[in-house]
Structure 1
C-alpha cells in the first residue's frame, strides 16, 4: 500500500507525460515518442492508483486488469490500420459506459452510507469511497449528486453515439443521415425530459430517476449520430473523443480522483478544439454538425452534371507520369481500404528516382479519422517533408502536371465551390481540377461515402483509372522509367 504523497506525486508526473504526449502528436516526427509518453503516463497512473490508500479487493482487481490487458493487446495486434477509426470509436464507447456504471455505483453507495448512518452502524468497515462520503457536508453531497447526473448523461450519450459511429465507420450502419420522424424535436424533447429527471433526482427521487436519465441519454446519443452524414464522420469521432474525456472528468470529481479529472479535462478540451478546427477547415458550423445539421440534403436542386466518365488504363497513366515533371498524390479512404500505402510509397520512390517532384496533398478530413492519411503514409515510411496540408499545396495545382487521386471523393469535389445547392457547398476542398491532368483511382462509378456525386470525374482533363487501388498502383510501378 502506497501513501497519499506517492500517489499525488505520481498523478503530477502522469499529468505532465499526458501533456507532453498531446503536444508531440501535433508533429509527425515526434508522434512515436509522444505515444510512449502517453503509455508510460497511463502505466504510472494505473499502478499508483491501484496501490493507493483505501484501495482493496486485489483478488478481483488484478485478474480483471490482466484479462483486460490481454484482450487489449490481442485486439491492437489484430486490428489493421484501415480499421483504426472504428476501433477508436469503440474505445470511446467503453469510456462512456464505464462512466455510467461508476455513477450508478456511486449513487447506490451514497444511499447505502446514508442508511447505515441512520441505523447507527459502525463506519470502520466502509469502503474507501464510503468513508469519503461520511466526511462530506450536505452541500458537498448535493454537488456529488450533480456530478453523478453529468457523468450519466455525458457517458450515456458517448456510449450509444460511439456505437453508432463505429457502425457507420465499419459499414454496418448506413453512412447517410438518418433520423426518426420528428428529427431534432425528438432530441429536444429527450433533453428536456433528461433535465426533468435530473431535477427530480436532486430533489429526492430514487435510483429509478437515474435509470430513466440514462435511457434518455442513450437515445440522444443514438439519434444525434444517426442524423450526421458520412462526410462529417471525422468530426464526429473527434467530438465523441471530447465527450469521453468530459465523462471521465465528471467521474474524477465523483471519486475525488485528481488524476482522472486532469486526464479527462485534457482529452475533453483537446477533442473539442480538434473538432472546432476540423469544422473550420470544412467551413461547417460546429453546432450544426453536432446536431446533425449536415448530411440531410441540399437547400435546393443540385446542378446537373454534364459529360461522361472516361476510363484509362495503366499504360496511359504511366505515360503521363513519365512525361510529367511535377506530381501530386491525393490519398483518401480508398487507399486505406485497399491497404495501398506501401504500393504508393514504392510508386513515389520510382517517380522521385526519375527526377520528378512528388508531393502528397492531405485534406484535414481525408479518411475516417483526423490524421488518418498521415498515419498510413508514416506507416509506409513516406518522407514527412513531402506530405503537405491543404493550405500549403492548394495554390500549386495550376502548376502541376499530374494529380493522382486515390480513393478520394468529397475532398476533391468541385461542387463545393461551384454548386451553392450542394450539401457540401462552401467546404474547402483540394482544387485538383486545376492541374493539367487528373487521374482518379476508383473501384467503380459510385458516389463517395456521403453519397454526393462528383463533377470532377466528368471533367475533360480527368481520366478514371478503375480498379482496386493497390492493384492499380502496383501495375504502374514497373512502367515508370
Structure 2
C-alpha cells in the first residue's frame, strides 16, 4: 500500500516537473534550468515505474523481475549513448539529433502499444482502440522522423514524388485503419495477432511515404509536427496503461508541439496542409519574375569600417552562420562595435535555421547576451531607423518578394525588414538561392552590398580591420 501511494505521488511530481520545466523553456534566460527541471521529472517518472513492481502480485512480480536486468541495461546504454553523443554533436547537426530523439519517443510509444496488443488478457473495447491509435501515431512519428533526419543530414537530397502519390498514401492510411478495426473486432483470436503485425507494417510505411515528398525547407515544421505526434502517442498509451504521468506528459508535449507547429506555419504564411501536401519547391524557381538591377559586392574590411562608424547595427543570423561555425567570431566583432559605442542588436526570424530556437541556441553558445536578441515582431519597426543591417547566411526570411510579389511561393510570409535599413551587407558564399528557390530581390537593391565568402573567414577579416583601425588611432 505504501509503495502504491509513493508511485502515485511520484507520477504527480513528475508531471509537475514536466509542466514547470516546459514553462521555463519559454525564455532563453531560463531555458537551461527548464531542461534540467524536466530531466529531473523524467528521472522521477522512470524511478516510479520500477516502484510498480512492489504493487504487483507475487507471481506477476516474479515474471517482471526477470526483465529488470534488461531494463537497467537499456537505461545505462541509452543514457550513456545520449550523454556521449549530446556532448559531441555540432550545432549544425542539432536539428538532426532532435529529429532522431523525437522519433525514438514515437517508437517507444509504438513499442508499448505492441506489448499491450500482444497481451491476450487485454480487455479490449475502448482501451484496445486507444492503444491502436497510439500505435499508429507513434509509428508514423518514428519512421517520419527518421526520414526528416535523413533529409536534414543530406542523406536524402531531393523530395521523392511521383504521379498518384497522394492517392497511394491515402490508400495505405485507410487500409491501415481498416486492419486496426478488424484486429479490434477479432481481439483474442490468432488472426488478431497477424492483423496487428500487418497494421504496424502499414503504419511504419505510411510515416515514410508521408514524409518523402516534403521538401527540405519544410523540415523544421515537420519535426515540430512529429514532436506533437510523439506527445499524443505517449498520452494515448498512458491512458491505455492507466498511467497518469504518461498521460500528463504526453498531453503537455502534444499540445506544445501542436502550438509550435501552427506558429511556425503561420510564420511562413502557410497552412499545415500546404506544408504537407503542396510539393513546395516545385514551382519556386518560377516565382519572383524578372529581377531589376544587379548585385554589387564590397570588401569585408570596408563593410566592417562602415559598421564601426555607424550608430546602430542589426544583425540577422541564418543557417549559413551555423554551417561556418562563426558564432564566436561574430560575437568578437560585436564586442568591438559595442566598444566603439555602436548600438548592436540581433533579429531572429521564427523559422531561421533548421529548427525552432536554432539561432537562439547558436548565439547563446557564443555568449551573446539575451537582452540584445530580439524576435521579429519586437524589432521590425527599428529597421527604418537603423544605419546597417548585417545579414549572415539568411535568405528567404529577408526577401522583400514576400511582401510584394503575389506570384512568389513565399508571398505573404512575414519577413525581417532588413531592406528598410539605410545600408545592408549580406555575407554569403555565392549567388545561390535560398531553400525556397526564390531569387532574393534584396540583393539587387541599391542599399545592399554582398560580402562573398565563408562567414568564418569574412568575420575574421572584419574583426582584424576594426582592430587595425583602433591600433592606428
Q: Would you say 1:75 and 2:85 are equivalent positions?
A: yes
Q: Would you say 1:143 and 2:131 are equivalent positions?
A: no
CA distance in 2, matches of 1:340, 1:104: 46
Deviations 1:233-291 (A, max 9, x none): 22111111111111111221232222111111111110001111122222211232244
Tell me the secondary structure at the aligned position of residue 439 of structure 1: strand
CA distance in 2, matches of 1:350, 1:459: 28
Q: 1:417 to 1:178 in 2, by over 3 A?
A: farther
Counterpart position of 2:162 = 180
Gaps of 5+ in 1: 114-132
Deviation of 1:207 after TM superposition, in Å, equals: 2.1
Q: 1:304 to 1:73 in 2, by over 3 A?
A: same
CA contact (8 A) 1:298 1:421 kept: no
Tell me the secondary structure at the aligned position of residue 49 of structure 1: helix
Q: Give the alignment partner of residue 255 of structure 2, picking from 236, 245, 269.
A: 269
Q: Would you say 1:253 and 2:239 are equivalent positions?
A: yes
Q: 1:246 to 1:147 in 2, by over 3 A?
A: same
Counterpart position of 2:116 = 106
Counterpart position of 1:11 = 11
Counterpart position of 1:160 = 143
Counterpart position of 1:42 = 42
- The total of aligned residue pairs comes to 453
Deviation of 1:208 after TM superposition, in Å, equals: 2.4
Tell me the secondary structure at the aligned position of residue 426 of structure 1: coil
CA distance in 1, matches of 2:209, 2:296: 40
Q: 1:207 to 1:355 in 2, by over 3 A?
A: same
Q: Would you say 1:356 and 2:342 are equivalent positions?
A: yes
Counterpart position of 1:126 = none
CA distance in 1, matches of 2:345, 2:278: 35
Deviations 1:5-54 (A, max 9, x none): 10110111111111011111111111111111111111111112123234
Q: 1:40 to 1:240 in 2, by over 3 A?
A: same
CA distance in 2, matches of 1:385, 1:282: 26
CA distance in 2, matches of 1:301, 1:165: 26
Counterpart position of 1:23 = 23
CA distance in 1, matches of 2:362, 2:150: 22
Deviation of 1:300 after TM superposition, in Å, equals: 6.9
Q: Would you say 1:225 and 2:201 are equivalent positions?
A: no
CA contact (8 A) 2:268 2:414 kept: yes
CA contact (8 A) 2:184 2:192 kept: no
Q: 1:300 to 1:450 in 2, by over 3 A?
A: closer
Q: Give the alignment partner of residue 303 of structure 2, picking from 313, 317, 323.
A: 317
TM-score, with normalisation over the residues of structure 1? 0.90
Counterpart position of 1:122 = none
Deviations 1:64-99 (A, max 9, x none): 211111111111111122211110000111122222
Deviations 1:299-353 (A, max 9, x none): 9754122333222111221221122111000001111111111111111111111
Deviation of 1:363 after TM superposition, in Å, equals: 0.2
CA distance in 2, matches of 1:189, 1:394: 46
Deviation of 1:179 after TM superposition, in Å, equals: 2.2
Counterpart position of 1:119 = none
List aligned pairs for 1:188-227, cutoff 5 A: 188-204=170-186, 205-227=191-213
Deviation of 1:445 after TM superposition, in Å, equals: 1.7
Counterpart position of 2:60 = none
282-291 or 159-168: bigger deviation: 282-291
CA contact (8 A) 2:284 2:436 kept: no
Deviations 1:128-161 (A, max 9, x none): xxxxx4xx5xxxx212220221122101211111
CA contact (8 A) 1:227 1:296 kept: no
Deviation of 1:293 after TM superposition, in Å, equals: 5.6
Deviation of 1:226 after TM superposition, in Å, equals: 2.3
CA contact (8 A) 2:402 2:413 kept: yes
CA distance in 1, matches of 2:454, 2:115: 51
Tell me the secondary structure at the aligned position of residue 426 of structure 2: strand
Tell me the secondary structure at the aligned position of residue 3 of structure 1: helix
CA contact (8 A) 1:299 1:422 kept: no
CA distance in 1, matches of 2:403, 2:334: 30
Gaps of 5+ in 2: 57-63
CA distance in 1, matches of 2:287, 2:101: 39
CA distance in 2, matches of 1:166, 1:344: 28
Q: 1:301 to 1:70 in 2, by over 3 A?
A: closer
Q: 1:41 to 1:301 in 2, by over 3 A?
A: closer
Deviations 1:219-240 (A, max 9, x none): 3222322232333222111111
CA contact (8 A) 1:2 1:48 kept: no
Deviation of 1:62 after TM superposition, in Å, equals: 1.4
Counterpart position of 1:459 = 445
List aligned pairs for 1:347-386, cutoff 5 A: 347-386=333-372
CA distance in 2, matches of 1:104, 1:59: 21
Tell me the secondary structure at the aligned position of residue 315 of structure 2: strand
Counterpart position of 2:69 = 59
Q: 1:180 to 1:255 in 2, by over 3 A?
A: farther
CA distance in 2, matches of 1:295, 1:183: 17
CA distance in 2, matches of 1:51, 1:411: 50
CA contact (8 A) 1:2 1:51 kept: no
Q: 1:475 to 1:211 in 2, by over 3 A?
A: same
